[in-house]
Amino acid sequence: METYFGYIETVQDALLVFESCRLGQLPRVHRRLNERERRWLRSGSVYVWDEEESDVRRWTDGRLWSPSRIRGRFLVYRELSCRRTEAMERLLFKPRGLIKRTIAIETSSGRRLHLISYFSESDLASGALPRPRFDPRLQQVQIPREIYPELQQMTQGSDATHHSLQSQSQSYAP
């Protein structure tokens, strides 16, 4: 049920996956994940869905996540070991836990599309996860500006700049 396997590093990567789904080259998610599918979540899992088509407004994966942090046009979350209590001074990140990266875009026809990607620090550092913009299967995909009006704003600015995980990790203290 994965839409794609890899790392969504930039808005351009996300747009390639969105457009590949629109063209039918990659599958979109049409419903919530069931318990078995949730257990299959792994570093490199990427899921795309259309709110109207799937009737999914909010993604649930059954894991505990930190509060979101904004990284360019993405929201980023780190997997937690346990629920935070008032007595805890810091969040307890799960050792070797996943990082979740999300982005949503509205098309010119008013469709709201979402992308959720999961990855581990070790897979990212080792280069084990392919990026869509380097995937030979997606090389011919052209992003039509008229379908993604947010494209101009989203691809300008600092998003294309890669933020190191070390700086991301440091910003997660409460």
The predicted pLDDT at position 170 comes to 39
Number of domains in the chain: 1
Quick one: CA torsion of 110, 75, 72, 121, rounded to 10 degrees? Answer: -130
The predicted pLDDT at position 159 comes to 45
| pTM check: above 0.95 | no
- Domain limits at 159? 4-170
HEC string of the chain equals CCCEECCCCCHHHHHHHHHHHHCCCCCCECCCCCHHHHHCCCCCEEEEEEHHHHCCCCCCCCCCECCCEEECCEEEEEEECCCCCCCCCCCCECCCCCEEEEEEEECCCCCEEEEEEEECHHHHHHCCCCCHHHCHHHCCCCCCCCCCCCHHHHHCCHHHCCCCHHHHHHCCCC
> pLDDT for 16-49, tens place per residue?
999 999 999 999 998 888 889 888 899 999 999 9
CB 120 within 8 A of CB 100: no
> pLDDT for 74-119, tens place per residue?
999 999 987 665 445 567 788 889 999 999 999 999 999 999 999 9
